[in-house]
Structure 1
Amino acid sequence: MWPWEHAIMGYVAYSLFCHAYYRDSPGGLEAFAVVFASVLPDLIDKPLAWEFGVFEVGYAIGHSIFFAVPLSIAVGALARTYGRPRAGLAFAVGYLLHLPADIVDGYVRDDHLSFWIVLWPFRQDEVHLHAHEHTGFADQFFVLLGTYHQELFSDDPSTYALVMLGATGFAALLWLYDGAPVLRESVLAVKRGLERSVELVTDSRSR
């Protein structure tokens, strides 16, 4: 699954959970945490595989359930310590949804369930079938981006591409309904900063 698709799925899942359980929209920190965590496995494994050749494929420690679960628990505990338990939960939702999403995506695209991608360092017998040349992270990313562009804007896009396009539109509308978290907090922070600057200038002139 593409990184932006993970981000979309993570945000939608957490936002719907917030509305169902908390009767509230995600805050800016939570929205950032779920989106960041939803792409973090790829940010860990893809550069290590494609750029540095540490792993043969982009499914290794970052995608491993043996790493993901302890990391999510640790981040959750840390967030609770700082009085931000919902941010910790958002991180766990984003990160842990990434793993089964890649398995399902492989089945939809290739009609093959590859559970090995979440079992590093075990079950690496299929690694060689999915190996990429170590051509550099940026180069490999843009190659895959071109493939995605061709698939999405072809004369006969796949059902999967159309579904994800619809999911993107739904996520955008949901984000706006939630009050555009992250953007909202950023705008408010800039506004407060400007107001503070005006106050300081006014005070300095009045002295």
Structure 2
Amino acid sequence: MWPWEHAIMGYLAYSLFSHVVYRESPDGLEAFAVVFASVLPDLIDKPLAWQFGVFETGYELGHSIFFAIPLSIAVGMYARSVGRPRAGLAFALGYLLHLPADVLDSYVRGGRVQFELVLWPVRTVELHPHEHQLSFGEQFSLLFAQYQQELLAGDPSLYIWSQIGIAVAAAVLWLYDGAPVLRECLEYLYGLLDEE
């Protein structure tokens, strides 16, 4: 999945969870934690593979359940110790949703379930390694251009339309939630202006 797809799905899942369980919208720290954590596996693995050639594919350390579960527990324990358990839960939910989403995406795009995407170093992914001549930014731009071409051609696939629909739903939910993160930033700025 693309990073923005992970971010959208993570926010949708946590916001709905927050409304059902806590009966309120997520605050800015929770929203930031879930979105950041939902893209963190890619932020770890993709640059290490594409930019630095440390890994062969882009599904190693950050995508491994053997790393993800201990990291989520550690962040959750820390968040609880500083009085922000919901932020720790948001982080864990965002991070841990990333892994099955990539496995599901491997089935949707390639027609086969690849559990090895999340089992590094016990099992490794059998993908063609990315060309290490391209930097992380160049590789990301190349992949993004594929979507751009489809949209500019004026004939988006059902997959693109579904992504647009989910993104619109997430944006509407984020606005309904009071635009967390943006809201806190604006409140902080207004507070600074009031002090002057």
TM-score (norm 2): 0.96
One-letter amino acid of the counterpart of residue 104, structure 1: L
Please identify the structure whose Cα radius of gyration is greater: 1
Instruction: Give the structure 2 partner of residue 68 of structure 1.
Output: 68
Q: Mapping of 1:106-117 within 5 angstroms?
A: 106-117=106-117
Distance 1:28 1:167, change over 3 A: same
Aligned amino acid, residue 167 of structure 2: T
> CA separation of 1:152/1:96 partners in 2, compared to 1, >3 Å: closer, same or farther?
farther
2:186 corresponding residue in structure 1: 187
Q: Verify the 8 A CA contact 1:152 1:162 in the aligned structure 2.
A: no
Alpha-carbon RMSD: 1.0
The percent identity for this pair of structures is 67
Q: Name the amino acid aligned to 2:184.
A: E
Of residues 127, 130, 135, the one that matches 2:128 is 130
Q: Deviations over 1:138-172 (max 9, x none)?
A: 11010011012223444332222111110000000
Q: Show the counterpart of 2:140.
A: 141
Output the CA distance in 2 between the equivalents of 1:164 and 1:18. 23
Q: Which amino acid aligns with 1:108?
A: V
Q: Aligned equivalents of 2:61 and 2:90: distance in 1?
A: 21
* Count of residue correspondences: 195
Q: Matches of 1:58 and 1:153 in 2, distance apart?
A: 28
Q: Which runs of 5+ in 2 are unaligned?
A: none
**1:92-143 deviation line (CA, Å, top 9, x unaligned):** 01000000001111111111111111000122261xx331101111110100
Structure 1 distance, partners of 2:96, 2:147, is 24
Query: Structure 1: which 5+ runs fail to align?
Result: 199-207
Q: Runs of at least 4 residues of structure 1 off by over 6 A?
A: none
Letter in 2 for 1:106: S
TM-score of the superposed pair, with normalisation by structure 1: 0.91
